[in-house]
């Protein structure tokens, strides 16, 4: 079974719309209230997908606004360093970068995230700020998520314009519901999703979102069939993360396409850094779809990439295709690579 990627002569494999964040964390599992230094990394779900996919050798671009200051330069240079096309990363005078402060921990202390993103440069993106037809005419896949839509009324309008234009131009539209309760209520998000999901070809959900936001019940397959039936998405994926403890976890996923359900194997992992790992999974899935792999292969490639991403510090895993393929269907060979 071939996944629903439309074949067209386009210059970019993926165009992502979203917000970059600076992730600041005390070193060595330190506490935020006692921090005297902070490690800085670029983060943000929509950037993560574009950057991880670029590291796999695909041509990606990121649409956003960053402040016209050294922090904006840091964001642009970090994306460029991953191989992302930065021509649509617009500098915004008199604006600020969104921040997330992260406190890593060991048991029994729980990890902490504190967001400081109100009125960021990216949160001002509006529906007329970019030439959507001119940009999207050059892309195969158009990606964004529920985090970006929830930032502000203007980003919601921009996301709607982005996906409507992408659909009109024949791009394959890709969306992760990615609900974040610090941005909006479930009812507000649900009302928006009902207008966005009919525009989406490749949809990623999880059980928590399906049950609490949409009120759907049943097995993973039944949940996916509800989304496919209610919104017409061509490929619906349901992901499941197991957190056994702060240092160990596992990932599984399933997908529904053309009425047929496929499941991945269970990918277990140790945890060094779990931030951005779901985005790594989505990037792995999209890589396999762009390569016209069978759906079961795509799920296992994405799961292996997600597992490896948990072992890498930072939101972008910087993984290569061969190292992911090496652990797709069998335990990893842990001999030293010389």
Q: What is the CATH number of the domain that holds 150?
A: 3.40.1190.20
d(C-alpha 303, C-alpha 282), whole Å? 9
Element (H, E) at 297: helix 295-309
Domain membership of residue 225 (yes or no) is yes
The pLDDT-based confidence of 9 (bands split at 50, 70, 90) is low
Phi, psi of 120, rounded to the nearest 5 degrees: -70, 165
Element (H, E) at 134: helix 132-136
d(C-alpha 247, C-alpha 286), whole Å? 27
* pTM reported for the whole predicted model: 0.94
Q: How many domains does the chain have?
A: 1
Domain that holds residue 108: 12-325
Domain membership of residue 64 (yes or no) is yes
DSSP one-letter string for 84-115: -B-TTEEEETT---EEEEEE---TTSPPEEEE
Domain membership of residue 7 (yes or no) is no
End-to-end CA distance of the chain: 38
| pLDDT tens, position by position, 80-118 | 999 999 999 999 999 999 999 999 998 899 999 999 999
Q: Where are the alpha helices (DSSP H) in 197-294?
A: 207-212, 220-231, 277-290
Query: Under DSSP, is residue 159 helix (H, G, I), strand (E, B) or coil?
Result: helix
**pLDDT at residue 310, as a whole number:** 97
Domain membership of residue 6 (yes or no) is no
Q: Say whether pLDDT at 1 is over 50.
A: no
d(C-alpha 206, C-alpha 217), whole Å? 12
Looking at the chain, the whole-number percentage of residues with pLDDT higher than 70 is: 95
| pLDDT tens, position by position, 182-219 | 999 999 999 999 999 999 999 999 999 999 999 999 99
Residue 328, token pair as written in the block: 């797709």
């Amino acid at each position: 079974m071939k996944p629903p990627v439309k074949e067209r002569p386009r210059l970019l494999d993926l165009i992502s719309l979203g917000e970059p964040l600076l992730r600041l964390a005390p070193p060595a599992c330190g506490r935020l209230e006692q921090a005297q230094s902070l490690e800085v990394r670029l983060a943000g779900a929509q950037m993560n997908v574009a950057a991880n996919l670029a590291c796999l050798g695909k041509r990606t671009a990121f649409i956003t606004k960053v402040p016209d200051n050294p922090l904006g330069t840091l964001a642009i240079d970090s994306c460029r360093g991953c191989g992302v096309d930065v021509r649509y990363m617009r500098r915004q005078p008199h604006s600020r970068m969104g921040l997330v402060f992260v406190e890593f921990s060991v048991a029994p202390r729980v990890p902490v995230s504190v967001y400081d993103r109100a009125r960021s440069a990216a949160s001002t993106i509006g529906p007329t700020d970019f030439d959507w037809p001119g940009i999207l005419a050059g892309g195969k896949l158009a990606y964004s998520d529920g985090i970006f839509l929830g930032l502000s009324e203007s980003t919601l309008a921009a996301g709607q314009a982005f996906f409507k234009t992408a659909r009109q131009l024949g791009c394959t539209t890709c969306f992760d519901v990615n609900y974040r309760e610090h941005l909006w209520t479930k009812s507000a998000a649900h009302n928006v999703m009902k207008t966005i999901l009919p525009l989406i070809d490749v949809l990623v959900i999880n059980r928590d979102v399906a049950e609490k936001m949409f009120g759907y019940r049943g097995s993973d397959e039944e949940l996916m069939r509800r989304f496919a039936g209610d919104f017409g998405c061509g490929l619906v994926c349901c992901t499941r993360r197991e957190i056994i403890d702060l240092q160990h976890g596992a990932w599984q996923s399933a997908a529904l396409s053309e009425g047929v359900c496929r499941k991945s194997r269970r990918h277990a992992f140790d945890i060094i850094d779990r931030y951005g790992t779901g985005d790594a999974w989505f990037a792995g899935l999209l890589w396999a779809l762009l390569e016209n792999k069978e759906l079961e292969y795509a799920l296992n490639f994405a799961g292996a990439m997600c597992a490896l991403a948990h072992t890498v510090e930072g939101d972008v895993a910087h993984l290569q295709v061969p190292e992911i393929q090496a652990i797709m269907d069998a335990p990893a060979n842990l001999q030293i690579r010389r």
